[in-house]
Structure 1
Amino acid sequence: MLDTTQQRGTIFIEDLEIGTHRHLTKVVTDEDIQMFAEVSTDRNPVHLDDEYAAGTMFKGRIAHGMLTAGLISAVIGEQLPGHGTIYLSQNLKFMGPVRPGDEVRTDVIVTDINREKRKVTMETKCVVDGKPVLIGEAVVLAPSRG
């Protein structure tokens, strides 16, 4: 289930302001993890095998970190700035696991704008039960009316 309670669509560089933010929430399902394993070819048993994962430091299966990071891409590509945005960079720090059934809230907030170069820097964060599981910073080229 995907909840994009913030507005969708493109925000052009001319209309962006520092502090502009968008978010989405998504419950990560077993099916999401299975599909991500297929698409990425990352079949690490910590993601797919209950028995194996029970013996790890996580004491159970976890979602792929990059599946969670993909939610940041969803906010950037669909909402802020939205369609026409080009990723330049993204740094990520994984703070905790996301487990099947967890509801992840992903927030993106504009922290710097270079209108001349159309570059936008954004703080990115994914949270489960009020605790950050992924933090980072993205730099993108925002679409322009011109």
Structure 2
Amino acid sequence: MLDNQPRGTIVIEDLEVGMVRSLRKEITDEDIELFARVSTDRNPVHLDDAYAQDTIFEGRIAHGMLTAGLVSAVIGEQLPGHGTVYLGQTLRFLAPVRPGDMVLAEVEVLEIDYAKRRVKLDTRCLVNGKKVLVGEATVLAPSAKFD
């Protein structure tokens, strides 16, 4: 299940501190398998139930970067959206995401440098209201002057 807000672009001239956009996605076994194939990260904690039971997680978990990819989707599709260039991202993984979890990825505008078109964003992912990932992104936002 994928539930998100309208996609497109919010140009730098229309951005405001405090703006928030989000998407909600259920992490499936297929998502984890596809991410493992694309990334070549086949760590058994993601793919092997028996192996994962004997880890600190006591079960399979999604790749952390799969969860972080949802933040990237919000930035690239909604806030600021199409034409955005990622300059940097910090991440802290606070809790595991498991197959079947519904993840809410949120991005919020913290600071805007209109002259340089740089935007600092608070990034976070939550499962059942609990933060599982937090960080900050810096992006170069698209501009109406360069359409």
Q: Aligning the two structures, in what range does the TM-score lie when normalised by the shorter sequence?
A: over 0.9
Contact 1:76 1:82 in 2 (8 A): yes
Q: Does 1:9 align with 2:8?
A: yes
TM-score by length of 1: 0.98
Structure 2: runs of 5 or more not aligned: none
The DSSP-based 3-state class of the residue aligned with 2:97 is coil
Deviation for aligned residue 1:97? 0.2
- Secondary structure of the corresponding residue to residue 89 of structure 1: strand
Indicate conservation of the 8 Å contact 1:8/1:82, yes or no.
yes
Higher mean alpha-carbon deviation, 97-106 vs 6-15, is at 6-15
Correspondence for 1:67:
66
Contact 1:25–1:104 (Cα < 8 Å) also in 2: yes
What displacement does 1:8 show?
A: 1.9
Percent identity over paired residues:
68
Provide TM-score, normalisation by structure 2: 0.98
* Structure 1, unaligned runs of 5 or more: none
Equivalence map 1:1-146=2 (5 Å): 1-4=1-4, 6-146=5-145
Deviation at 1:139, TM superposition (A): 0.3
Counterpart-to-counterpart distance in 2, 1:60 and 1:142? 39
Tell me which amino acid in the other structure corresponds to 2:95: G
Alpha-carbon distance in 1 for matches of 2:92, 2:76: 20
* CA distance in structure 2 between the aligned counterparts of 1:129 and 1:91, rounded to whole angstroms: 23
Contact 1:7 1:22 in 2 (8 A): no
Give 1:42 deviation, angstroms. Answer: 0.1
Measured on the aligned residues, the alpha-carbon RMSD in Å equals 0.5
| Divergent runs of 4+, >2 A | none
Partner-residue secondary structure (3-state), 1:17: coil
For residues 13 and 122 of structure 1, the distance between their equivalents in structure 2, rounded to whole angstroms, comes to: 13
CA shift for structure 1 position 9: 1.1
Distance 1:41 1:34 in 2: 10
